[in-house]
Amino acid sequence: MLGTLTAWLSDAKVDLETMGVISLIGLAYAFKFLWSPLLDRVSIPGLVRLGRRKQWLVVAQLGLGVMLMLMAQMDPNSAVGLFSLCAGVGAFASATQDIVIDAWRVDVADETATLDTLSAVYQLGYRAAVLVGGALSLFMADAMGWTFVYTLMGGIMLAVGLASLYAPDTHIS
């Protein structure tokens, strides 16, 4: 997300100082260890029935999808504060998704779906997401604009969040 965000800000002629400050949202990934214990201990009211991991996974993915779609509707120059806030919330949601997917993968592993297999599938999905969210997004933005790209990526994340409702439950309380 940070690579395409930087490209968008550059296309929008946002000054370098502002871009530097906005790039600090990438620190969410470096500090995700700070809130990861909370994801094990705190349940989201009304979503507990989804399971310990899925409740956070669905919220993180839907939150990221909404943030991407909101950002798509903004001009980074005229709404830099709100734009940055949405980008920060999106980075937090994305880092939360990483935490939960790692924990979910360990919890659902069994004799059929081994941790090795689940890790390989995760890596395949991660690399595909990097290609689509990175290089393909840059080509698409050049042809169709950033509004289209961020709306599309937000829609994809919303669909992934809804699909996560059907992921296997961890059955661990």
pLDDT of residue 129 exceeding 70: yes
Mean pLDDT calculated for residue range 64-90? 95
Average pLDDT, the chain: 91
pLDDT of residue 80 exceeding 80: yes
Span of 56-60, 68-72, 110-114 with lowest mean pLDDT:
110-114
Contacts 24+ apart (CB under 8 A), 5-12: 5/87, 7/138, 7/141, 8/76, 8/141, 8/146, 8/150, 9/76, 11/141, 11/146, 12/75, 12/76, 12/77, 12/146
Nearest one of 67, 53, 54, 60 to 93, comparing CA atoms: 60
Strand segments (E) across 69-123: none
Task: Say if residues 99 and 42 touch (Cβ distance below 8 Å).
Answer: no
Distance CA 170, CA 149 (A): 34
Query: What letter represents residue 150's amino acid?
Result: Y
Tokens of 62: 């839907």
Distance CA 35, CA 77 (A): 31
**Beta-carbon contacts of residue 94 (< 8 Å; ≥ 6 apart):** 1, 28, 29, 60, 64
pLDDT of residue 4 exceeding 70: yes
pLDDT digits (tens, 9 = 90+) for 92-119: 999 999 999 999 988 888 888 888 888 8
Question: What pLDDT is stored for residue 93 in this prediction?
Answer: 97
Given its phi and psi angles, is residue 13 left (phi above 0), alpha (psi -120 to 50 degrees) or beta? Answer: left
